[in-house]
């Protein structure tokens, strides 16, 4: 799986890193289905913008004063994607819905990745057994 320029992740590497379930979900729920849809750059860009302007993540943005403006932008991206689907794929009435159905999988997988990254940042290079042992041996603060 190509994750970026000059960075390819193979299944055996994912398995060794303990991320094989995430790797498999990305392949089955995203890559295969997105490839089957033959998504173009505009569609991918719109999906990225919809994710970026997600109201579920807006409360996490400190200092944002105009949340309604972000909602308006997101609605415009939905409209652009719908229009693009109708003009570029006129015979495929369900295309807009099929593209939007990729969003829950994207969100779920990205949250799994964040959990995994947080956990490994927490324990660093230690083996899991060593980390758990140290936690159990550490006395509770009084």
pLDDT tens, 115-130?
555 555 444 554 545 5
DSSP structure string for the chain = -EEETTEE--HHHHHHTT-HHHHHHIIIIIIHHHHHHT--HHHHHHHHHHHHT-TTTGGGSTT---HHHHHHHHHHHHHHHHHHHHHH-TT-TTHHHHHHTHHHHHHHHHHHHHHHHHHHHHHTTS-HHHHHHHHHHSPPP-
Q: Given this model, what pLDDT does residue 100 score?
A: 94
Q: Given this model, what pLDDT does residue 96 score?
A: 96
pLDDT tens, 24-77?
777 776 777 777 888 888 998 898 888 888 766 666 666 777 778 888 999 999
| Domain architecture of the chain: domains with CATH | 39-123 (1.10.565.10)
């Amino acid at each position: 799986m190509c994750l970026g320029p000059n960075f390819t992740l193979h299944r055996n590497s994912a398995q060794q890193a303990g991320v094989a379930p995430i790797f498999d979900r990305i392949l089955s729920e995203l890559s295969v289905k997105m490839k089957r849809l033959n998504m173009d750059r505009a569609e991918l860009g719109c999906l990225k913008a919809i994710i970026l302007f997600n109201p579920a993540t807006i409360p996490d943005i400190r200092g944002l004063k105009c949340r309604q403006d972000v909602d308006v932008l997101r609605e415009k991206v939905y409209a652009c994607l719908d229009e693009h689907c109708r003009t570029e794929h006129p015979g495929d009435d369900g295309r807009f819905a099929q593209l939007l159905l990729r969003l829950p999988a994207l969100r779920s997988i990205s949250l799994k990745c964040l959990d995994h990254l947080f956990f490994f940042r927490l324990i660093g290079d230690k083996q899991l057994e060593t980390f758990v042992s140290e936690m159990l041996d550490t006395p509770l603060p009084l």
